[in-house]
Structure 1
Amino acid sequence: MDQSAAAADERAQAAFARYVLPEIEVLYRVALSITAQPADAEDLVQDTLLRAYRAVERFDGTHARAWLLTILRNTEINRHRRRRPDLLDDPDAQLERHEGRGPFSAPAPGPEELVVEQVFDKVVDEALAALPVKHRQVVQLVDIDGLTYAEAATLLEVPEGTVMSRLHRARKRIRDRLAAAGLAPTRSGR
């Protein structure tokens, strides 16, 4: 290894120690909240640390926790894309479920249910896209990614109460859009 490569490796190790190592505990807590399994959380953190080490030389040093949590989230997304549990299933059992037969099959949805599901998904997607960025971020972190209020507050660098307030407003806007489309569940007594 020549001197320039050794110096680059030394700089990478120093940056890793400075920016990444202090955040391992936070990464584990967030990973555990996402995966709900300690072993899966450990694997996710390990994959995140490996990716962070490979990219640490390109990191500018600002907002290390946010940078690492982004890597963690993207790593988890990529891990889900790679999982193919259907490949391990019995193809005949899968066919029976699909055709509405078998002990665990649910009745196939009718055309009306399929249309309502598609319209519902479309309205929710549009409502989410119409939210201000700060509200959409909170919905993404808490409702979609499964972070706690405290973890989302840390990631966004805002107080926990701000996360709760933004989430309340965002959910209300989504509910209002669903109600306007006639898709909101009705509450008795209102």
Structure 2
Amino acid sequence: MIQPNVRGSTGFGKTFVALDNGYKREDSYKDIGALLDWIATQPDLDASRVMVTGGSYGGHMAWAVSSNYGDRIRASLPVVGMSNLVTFLEHTESYRRDLRRVEYGDERDPQMRAFLERIAPMNNTARIRHPVFVVQGLNDPRVPYTEAEQMVKTIRGNGAPVWYLLAKNEGHGFSKKPNADYQFYATVQFIREYLLK
């Protein structure tokens, strides 16, 4: 298991946090591309059996890796991830918008909107042909469930295997033990089916 701190991660100073803001967004995706290159050089790792996963922004990264490097991974598991930063900004709770716009870019600006639409995983789903397991809470105030649903519908239309776990009594991540347990065991089954076979 590899847990990279792509540019934009906290804990490495303010300059590092700002390295993926606005028009630099794709640079954080490229960090995972570099990680995939590195994995291929490691004799103890199997570059043909890579799965990406993450929650919230990590879920967005899982979507971005799926749409940018889908031919280099075996499966992905985005959890409460944004699939299009424009639709996310338009539908997240209003109290969060201005802070997120500083980081992701202001979707009301036509040039920024065009850039965000171009790089959106939702608008690049034709590249996603590998199995995907999508996890989402119906009552998520941060990343609306519609971010997951638009991806599930489109990727299923491509013919790729899609598992979708929508908890009707959860928000941003699963906090109730029965739901968390179900997610855990479903994840184990997904990995057995699509990563380990």
Q: Which has the higher strand share?
A: 2
Which entry has the higher C-alpha Rg, 1 or 2? 1
TM (normalized to structure 1)?
Answer: 0.25
